[in-house]
Structure 1
Amino acid sequence: MEFFTTAVSTMSTLVTALGAGLGVWGVINLMEGYGSDNPAANAHVR
């Protein structure tokens, strides 16, 4: 039973790390998307 407890703890840590990594990646993608919103770049479009 100790092996099962250790395995569940390890899997929980891995899933948490994966979720945090995906969250950081999503925030970076959002920031990159909003960073290109430059109204002056579209001044020629009416």
Structure 2
Amino acid sequence: MPSREYPNTYYCIVDRYIVSYKVLDNGERYVITSFKHSAMKRK
């Protein structure tokens, strides 16, 4: 993840989601990934 490109607060949120993403199973993982991508597009 190119974490340096994001503001600190936003990076914290993304990092938290990545941690959750690693422990969840595929169905929930897909939902979080889509959410993360749409959030990134907004910046």
TM-score relative to the length of structure 2: 0.42
Larger Rg: 1
Between 1 and 2, higher relative CO (CA 8 Å, sep ≥ 6) is seen in 2
